[in-house]
Amino acid sequence: MRSLNKKAKSIFNKCVAGLNEPGESRRIGNAANGFMPLIVECVATWQTSHIYSLAHYGEQNGDLMCDPEMTFLLGPNGDVRPLTYRNDFVGIDQVAAEPNDETGWKFNQKLQHELCTFAQQWLSNIDEQQDLDQPQG
C-alpha cells in the first residue's frame, strides 16, 4: 500500500496528536475563518496500528453529512496509509483497503493510490486553512 509523503504525514500527525485510544476525538478549526472544522477521531486499533477518521461535516435536511471523511492507518513504523473515502453529498463510499486476518490486508491498489494522492492535497489544504500549531480542543 502507498503511504503519504513526508509533508502530508507531518500534517496528519499534528491532527491526530494525543489521540491514542478508540473514541478519542477533537475538533480543529473555528467558524471565524470561514472554513469547515475538521473532526479527527481514533476509531480503532488493529494489531499494533491505529485507524483514524478525518472528516468535514455539512448538514442536509437536519442530517450530518461527510464532506468528505477519510480513514487512515497509522502503522507502528509511522507510515500513514489512506483506507477509505466517503462523501455523502455526492453518494461516494470507497474502500481501498481493509484488514483481513488471513492475509493482513485486502486492498485495491489503484484506488488506494488515488486516495493517497487526494489525501496529500486535502491535508495540504487543511494545513493552509487551519492553524494546526495552536492547541486544539
pLDDT digits (tens, 9 = 90+) for 34-92: 788 999 999 999 888 999 999 999 888 888 898 999 999 999 999 999 999 999 999 99
With a cut of 90, say whether residue 115 has pLDDT above it: yes
Could you give the CA distance from residue 97 to residue 125 in angstroms, rounded to a whole number?
Answer: 24
At 40, which amino acid appears? V
Reported pTM: 0.90
Mean pLDDT of 29-35: 71
The reported pLDDT for the residue numbered 129 is: 87
Q: Mind listing the pLDDT tens digit for each residue in 17-27?
A: 999 999 999 99
Return d(Cα 35, Cα 22) in angstroms, integer.
27
| Cα dihedral 114, 101, 69, 16 sign | negative
pLDDT band, very low/low/confident/very high, at 31 (cuts 50, 70, 90): low
Higher pLDDT, 22 or 29: 22
CA distances from 58 to 37, 39, 64, 82 (A): 10, 12, 6, 22
